[in-house]
């Protein structure tokens, strides 16, 4: 199905056409691994995941999805310094080598990050690559050399800067973000390096070596430029190396439009001679209980914080996906609870489908017009700029109007097939027969058996006491005629 996406470059919903036949190449700005990722970061990754899954399932594209891991920047260097208070013993022993320390600290947070992604329902197998900045220093240096040779970079005290105004005369700077060079709010952030730049707007491609910090050797223009890469250059170099120039889609949070993505466009074009990306997609921010998340406001959560509070990560995933990525998402605990109930309602429906199906013969391809029409409608919403709210609304309305009993066997089998496809995007359900009591502790099963016996004997006082006990132990019990089902609460 044809995919349409909002493009921050054109400021319109564009038809997606891959550069290479049937291959969608996507680069997503990943985390800087100096700490546990917070729920706001997670929205960006859930968005990227949604995009790539829709490309796979609805667009039927082959995928090359790259997400970078920024493991060298001011913060990772700062926190990994010898004697850092933020060093954890799980990271191992610190050594005299700043680079070794940096890699140990960032490796730790990278692994935690990957765990978080998995908990949120991302499939790590979907990644074509997760490049780490320190593994692509050579490519970054090559790109910087090209930019320098093309005349758009200069060296100042061993650091290398991008000459923005010179570039701006050749090609517009501000393609994603209207830049009003006259009205930059002066003095908001003072960079210590600023005096070394010719213009305050110039950004660092490469930063000169500092004592006690990791560095790489670099000779440029006959000068010694030993040091380490600037932030923006890594995405340009790694995306070019892994996906080529240009590639199809670049994702990130709206905050990255400027300066990060502007700089990426400028330096890639200054170095490679081409606009690097056809389609830029940005997700809106996430707020918590209607306010910007901040540590001081006490509404700053990492995924592990939320799990500790008893939330299921899959409910968080489903809650985030139930709002459109381009609007501010208000994360609330009530909202996650509501999403959970909605999600489980669908799950129960899926269980009922399996229950009602005489055998486990699933459809290979859809046969029934009813389900084909439903699929078409849901998919077209997803294809239209990833409109998950409409897709889900369509699904819920349909479920409201079609009970399992109303469906023919063919429709049931088709619907399971459709759910299985949808789960390739939402990854929020189990497409299987409801697991029987096997996962329920024996203690609970025994209580339930006693209760069934009491009910048969019409000893309802006893059965109510037993039910209360079961609930207190964290399980719910649903009665049917002469049986029951137990579920974990």
Contact of 225 with 218, CB cutoff 8 Å: yes
User: Is residue 236 a contact point for RNA (CB under 7 A)?
Assistant: no
Strand pairing of 247-253 and 23-28? Answer: parallel
User: Is residue 477 a contact point for RNA (CB under 7 A)?
Assistant: yes
User: Is residue 489 a contact point for RNA (CB under 7 A)?
Assistant: no
User: Is residue 286 a contact point for RNA (CB under 7 A)?
Assistant: yes
Token pair listed for 124: 């790590």
Binding to RNA (CB under 7 A) within 141-160 occurs at none
User: Is residue 250 a contact point for RNA (CB under 7 A)?
Assistant: no
Number of residues that bind RNA (CB under 7 A): 84
Q: How far apart are CA 388 and CA 381, in angstroms?
A: 7
Binding to RNA (CB under 7 A) within 385-424 occurs at 387, 389-390, 392-393, 396-397, 399-401, 403
User: Is residue 345 a contact point for RNA (CB under 7 A)?
Assistant: yes
User: Is residue 322 a contact point for RNA (CB under 7 A)?
Assistant: yes
Q: How far apart are CA 279 and CA 8, in angstroms?
A: 7
- Which range binds RNA by CB under 7 A, 90-98, 144-152, 416-424, 459-467? 459-467
User: Is residue 203 a contact point for RNA (CB under 7 A)?
Assistant: yes
Q: Where do runs of H (alpha helix) occur along 120-173?
A: 137-149, 164-170
Q: How far apart are CA 239 and CA 242, in angstroms?
A: 5
Specify the residue, 97 or 396, whose C-beta has the smaller distance to RNA: 396
- Which range binds RNA by CB under 7 A, 14-22, 29-37, 220-228, 305-313? 29-37
Give the CA count within 13 Å in the CB-facing half-sphere of 283: 28
User: Is residue 52 a contact point for RNA (CB under 7 A)?
Assistant: no
- Which range binds RNA by CB under 7 A, 138-146, 278-286, 371-379, 442-450? 278-286
Candidates 22, 439, 480, 483; binder of RNA (CB under 7 A) is 480
Candidates 184, 217, 273, 433; binder of RNA (CB under 7 A) is 184
Q: How far apart are CA 117 and CA 43, in angstroms?
A: 11
Token pair listed for 299: 């509404």
User: Is residue 335 a contact point for RNA (CB under 7 A)?
Assistant: yes
Q: How far apart are CA 199 and CA 414, in angstroms?
A: 62
Candidates 125, 334, 442, 472; binder of RNA (CB under 7 A) is 334
User: Is residue 75 a contact point for RNA (CB under 7 A)?
Assistant: yes
Candidates 63, 114, 338, 372; binder of RNA (CB under 7 A) is 338
User: Is residue 259 a contact point for RNA (CB under 7 A)?
Assistant: yes
Three-state DSSP state, 433:
coil
Candidates 157, 224, 327, 408; binder of RNA (CB under 7 A) is 327
User: Is residue 227 a contact point for RNA (CB under 7 A)?
Assistant: no
According to DSSP, the residues that pair with 484 across neighbouring strands are 479
Residues 150, 151, 154, 158, CA torsion sign: positive
Specify the residue, 234 or 248, whose C-beta has the smaller distance to RNA: 234
Q: Which helix (H) or strand (E) holds 399?
A: helix 388-401
Short-list 4, 3, 6, CA closest to 283: 6
């Amino acid at each position: 199905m044809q995919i349409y996406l909002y493009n921050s470059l054109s400021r319109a919903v564009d038809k997606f056409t891959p550069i290479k036949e049937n291959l969608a190449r996507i680069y997503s700005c990943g985390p800087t691994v100096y700490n546990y990722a917070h729920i706001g970061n997670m929205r960006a990754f859930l968005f990227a995941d949604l995009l790539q899954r829709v490309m796979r399932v609805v667009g039927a594209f082959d995928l090359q999805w790259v997400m970078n891991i920024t493991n060298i920047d001011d913060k990772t260097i700062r926190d990994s310094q010898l004697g850092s208070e933020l060093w954890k013993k799980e990271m191992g022993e610190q050594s005299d080598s700043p680079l070794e320390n940096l890699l140990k600290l960032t490796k730790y947070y990278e692994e935690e990050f990957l765990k978080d992604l998995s908990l949120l329902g991302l499939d790590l197998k979907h990644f074509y690559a997760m490049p780490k900045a320190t593994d692509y220093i050579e490519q970054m240096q090559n790109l910087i050399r090209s930019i320098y040779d093309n005349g758009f970079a200069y060296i100042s005290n061993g650091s290398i800067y991008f000459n923005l105004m010179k570039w701006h005369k050749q090609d517009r700077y501000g393609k994603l973000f209207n830049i009003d060079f006259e009205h930059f709010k002066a003095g908001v952030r003072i960079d210590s390096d600023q005096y070394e730049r010719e213009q305050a707007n110039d950004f660092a491609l490469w930063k000169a070596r500092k004592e006690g910090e990791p560095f790489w050797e670099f000779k440029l223009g006959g000068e010694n430029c030993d040091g380490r890469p600037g932030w923006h250059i890594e995405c340009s170099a790694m995306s070019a190396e892994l996906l080529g120039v240009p590639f199809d889609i670049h994702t990130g949070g709206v905050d990255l439009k400027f300066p990060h993505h502007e700089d990426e466009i400028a330096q890639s074009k200054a170095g490679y001679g081409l606009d690097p990306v056809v389609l830029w997609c940005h997700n809106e921010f996430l707020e918590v209980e209607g306010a910007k998340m901040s540590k001081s406001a006490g509404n700053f959560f990492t995924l592990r914080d939320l799990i500790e509070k008893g939330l299921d990560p899959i409910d968080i995933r489903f809650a985030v996906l139930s709002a459109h990525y381009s609007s501010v998402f208000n994360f609330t605990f009530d909202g996650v609870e509501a999403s959970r109930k909605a999600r489980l309602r669908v799950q129960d429906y899926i269980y009922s489908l399996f229950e009602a199906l005489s055998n486990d013969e699933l459809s290979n391809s859809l046969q029934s017009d009813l389900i084909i029409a439903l699929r078409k409608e849901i998919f077209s919403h997803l294809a239209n700029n990833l409109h998950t709210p409409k897709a889900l609304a369509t699904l819920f309305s349909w479920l409201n109007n079609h009970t399992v009993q109303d469906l023919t066997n063919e429709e049931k089998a088709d619907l399971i097939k459709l759910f299985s496809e949808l789960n390739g995007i939402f990854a929020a359900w189990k497409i299987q027969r409801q697991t029987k009591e096997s996962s329920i502790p024996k203690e609970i099963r025994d209580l339930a058996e006693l209760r069934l016996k009491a009910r048969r004997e019409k000893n309802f006082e006893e059965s109510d006491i037993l039910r209360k006990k079961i609930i207190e132990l964290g399980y719910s019990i649903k009665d049917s005629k002469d049986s029951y089902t137990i579920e974990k609460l």
